[in-house]
């Protein structure tokens, strides 16, 4: 069974530029998550989708971050404009049973903002 796919694996941009990340969850998983993991910290949930609806985006900095999951399958996360403090690994995860279920993670996108 294919796992969670993410791209790109690495991205280097300058501050104030924009960037987008893509995620394709495990087939059949209705719940999709985006996390931000800063070095030395645990993953922080940015947004959670159930199918194509948003369940929780309380920690998403909405002035610069946006995410969509238009057809209830793959998803994109965008940052515009990027700040230095956005340097982190952005992890996508999916689960079969919503928030109470096991989450499977993609390999992540490592973002460096210079």
Partner 1 sequence: RKEVEQDPGPFNVPEGATVAFNCTYSNSASQSFFWYRQDCRKEPKLLMSVYSSGNEDGRFTAQLNRASQYISLLIRDSKLSDSATYLCVVNGGFKTIFGAGTRLFVKA
- Count of residues interacting with partner 1 (CB under 8 A): 23
CA distance 1 to 11: 27
Binding of partner 1 at residue 107 (CB under 8 A)? yes
**Please, what is the minimum distance in Å from the beta carbon of residue 6 to partner 1?**
9
Interface with partner 1 (CB under 8 A), residue from 5, 13, 26, 45: 45
Binding of partner 1 at residue 106 (CB under 8 A)? yes
Task: Spell out, one character per residue from 15 to 44, where the chain touches partner 1: x when CB under 8 A holds, - when not.
Answer: ------------------x-x----xxxxx
Binding of partner 1 at residue 48 (CB under 8 A)? yes
Contact 30, 96 (CB under 8 A): yes
CA distance 41 to 11: 20
CA distance 1 to 77: 24
The CA–CA distances, whole Å, from 64 to 38, 52, 72, 103, 104 equal 17, 21, 23, 26, 26
Residues lying near partner 1 in the complex (CB under 8 A) are found at 33, 35, 40-45, 48, 55-56, 91, 98-108
């Amino acid at each position: 069974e294919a796992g969670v796919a993410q791209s790109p694996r690495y991205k280097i941009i300058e501050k104030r530029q924009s960037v987008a990340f893509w995620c394709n969850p495990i087939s059949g998983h209705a719940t999709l998550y985006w996390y931000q993991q800063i070095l030395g910290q645990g993953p922080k949930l940015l947004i959670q989708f159930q199918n194509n609806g948003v369940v929780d985006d309380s920690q998403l900095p909405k002035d610069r971050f946006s995410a969509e999951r238009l057809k209830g399958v793959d998803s994109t996360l965008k940052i515009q404009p990027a700040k230095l403090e956005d340097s982190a690994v952005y992890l996508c995860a999916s689960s079969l049973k919503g928030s109470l279920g096991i989450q499977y993670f993609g390999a992540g996108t490592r973002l460096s903002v210079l």
